C-alpha cells in the first residue's frame, strides 16, 4: 500500500502542475495587452529567480550546464507561446500547445524507435482536430505557427527533463534553469524592446498585470519547475506527456471562468479530437524486461 501511494504521488504532482499551467493562459492573455511575449517571459523568470535565490549556493557545474540548455528550450517555448497569445484565444493556444505531448513520442521515434500504427493514427487525428479548430475563423497563421513551434520546443524540453532530472537535486536543477532563463531573457528583452522601453516598464504595467506576473513568477515558474524536476525523476517522458494532456482542459475551463471565452461547436469537437489523439499516442509500452527502475521510454536529450 505504501508503494502504491509513492507510485501515485508523482503523477498527482504533475497533475497539479497542469492545473497551475491552465490558469496561466487567461493571465497571459491579459498581460499581452500591455507587454510583449519576451517581456512577459523575462519578467516572470526574474521574479522566479528572486524566489529561488536562497538555493543558488551549492549548485554544481553539471546542474548549471543542464539548467542552461533546459532553460533555453523552456524560455524559447514560453516566449513563442506568449507571442501567439497576442493574436489567438487562450483556449485555442492551450489546445495547440497540447500537441507537445504528441510530439514527445514522435521525436522519440526519430531517435531510433519504430512507428506503430497508434502513433500514425494519433498524428492523423491531431491534424484533423487542428483543422477543425481552425475552421472557426479565429486562426492566425503566424500566431498558430509560433504556438506549434513552442509546443515542439517544450516536447524536447520534456524529454530532456526526464533524462536529466535524476542527475541532480530537484531544487538545484529548478534553480539553475530559472536563473539561466532570467539571465538569457534580460539580454533578449534588451535587444528586442530596447533600453528605453525596458526602463519605462515599471510605469506602464498596471496593477492587474503586475499581480499576474507575480503569479506567473512565483507559482507558475519557480514552484512548477521545482515540482517538475522532482516528479520527472520518477515519471518517464511519455508518462509525463499524457498527464500534461490535461493542461488544455484546465486552460479552457479557466478561460471560460475569467475571460468568458466560448469555443464554437466545431472548435470544441476539434479540441476533443486533439485530446483524444494525444491520449491515444501515449498508450503505455512494455516495461523493460531487466527490471530496471529507470523510467520507461525516457529518451536521451539531444546533444
The pLDDT tens digits of the residues spanning 205-245 come to 999 999 999 999 999 999 998 998 888 888 777 677 777 77
The pLDDT tens digits of the residues spanning 148-194 come to 999 999 889 988 888 888 889 889 999 999 999 999 999 999 998 89
- Asked, for residue 297, whether it belongs to a domain, the answer is no
- Asked, for residue 290, whether it belongs to a domain, the answer is no
- Asked, for residue 236, whether it belongs to a domain, the answer is yes
- Asked, for residue 302, whether it belongs to a domain, the answer is no
Query: Tell me, what's the pLDDT at 282?
Result: 59
Q: Is 135 helix (H, G, I), strand (E, B) or coil?
A: coil
CB 293 within 8 A of CB 234: no
pTM of the model: 0.75
Query: Tell me, what's the pLDDT at 2?
Result: 46
- Count of structural domains, the chain: 1
Query: Tell me, what's the pLDDT at 297?
Result: 44
CB 18 within 8 A of CB 243: yes
- Asked, for residue 166, whether it belongs to a domain, the answer is yes
Query: Tell me, what's the pLDDT at 138?
Result: 66
d(CA 117, CA 137): 32
Q: What is the DSSP letter of 88?
A: S
- Asked, for residue 295, whether it belongs to a domain, the answer is no
- Asked, for residue 303, whether it belongs to a domain, the answer is no
The single residue listed with the C-alpha cell 507587454 is 35
Buried b (16+ CB within 10 A) or exposed e, 142-170: ebbebbbbbbbbbbbbbbbbbbbbeebbb
Closest CA to 278 of 38, 142, 134, 96: 96
- Asked, for residue 178, whether it belongs to a domain, the answer is yes
Query: Tell me, what's the pLDDT at 3?
Result: 44
Query: Tell me, what's the pLDDT at 44?
Result: 93
Query: Tell me, what's the pLDDT at 95?
Result: 77
Ranges of residues in the chain with a pLDDT under 70 are 1-7, 91, 112-116, 119-120, 133-139, 238, 281-303
> Which domain range does residue 44 map to?
2-280
Amino acid at each position: 500500500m505504501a508503494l502504491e501511494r509513492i507510485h501515485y504521488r508523482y503523477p498527482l504532482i504533475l497533475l497539479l502542475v497542469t492545473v497551475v499551467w491552465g490558469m496561466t493562459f487567461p493571465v497571459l492573455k491579459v498581460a499581452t495587452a500591455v507587454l510583449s511575449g519576451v517581456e512577459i517571459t523575462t519578467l516572470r523568470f526574474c521574479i522566479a529567480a528572486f524566489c529561488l535565490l536562497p538555493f543558488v549556493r551549492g549548485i554544481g557545474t553539471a546542474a548549471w550546464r543542464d539548467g542552461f540548455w533546459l532553460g533555453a528550450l523552456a524560455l524559447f517555448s514560453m516566449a513563442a507561446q506568449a507571442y501567439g497569445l497576442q493574436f489567438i484565444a487562450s483556449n485555442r493556444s492551450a489546445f495547440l500547445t497540447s500537441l507537445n505531448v504528441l510530439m514527445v513520442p514522435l521525436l522519440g521515434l526519430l531517435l531510433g524507435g519504430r512507428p506503430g500504427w497508434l502513433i500514425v493514427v494519433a498524428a492523423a487525428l491531431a491534424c484533423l482536430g487542428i483543422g477543425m479548430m481552425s475552421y472557426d475563423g479565429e486562426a492566425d497563421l503566424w500566431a498558430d505557427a509560433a504556438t506549434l513551434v513552442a509546443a515542439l520546443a517544450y516536447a524536447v524540453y520534456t524529454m530532456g527533463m526526464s533524462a536529466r532530472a535524476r542527475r541532480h537535486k530537484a531544487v538545484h536543477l529548478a534553480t539553475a534553469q530559472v536563473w539561466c532563463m532570467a539571465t538569457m531573457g534580460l539580454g533578449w528583452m534588451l535587444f528586442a524592446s530596447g533600453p528605453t522601453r525596458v526602463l519605462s516598464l515599471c510605469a506602464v504595467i498596471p496593477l492587474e498585470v503586475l499581480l499576474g506576473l507575480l503569479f506567473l513568477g512565483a507559482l507558475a515558474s519557480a514552484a512548477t519547475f521545482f515540482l517538475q524536476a522532482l516528479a520527472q525523476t520518477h515519471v518517464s517522458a511519455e508518462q509525463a506527456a499524457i498527464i500534461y494532456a490535461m493542461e488544455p482542459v484546465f486552460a479552457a475551463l479557466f478561460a471560460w471562468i475569467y475571460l468568458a471565452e466560448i469555443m464554437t461547436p466545431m472548435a470544441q469537437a476539434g479540441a476533443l479530437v486533439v485530446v483524444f489523439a494525444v491520449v491515444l499516442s501515449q498508450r503505455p509500452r512494455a516495461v523493460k524486461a531487466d527490471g530496471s527502475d529507470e523510467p520507461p521510454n525516457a529518451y536521451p536529450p539531444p546533444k
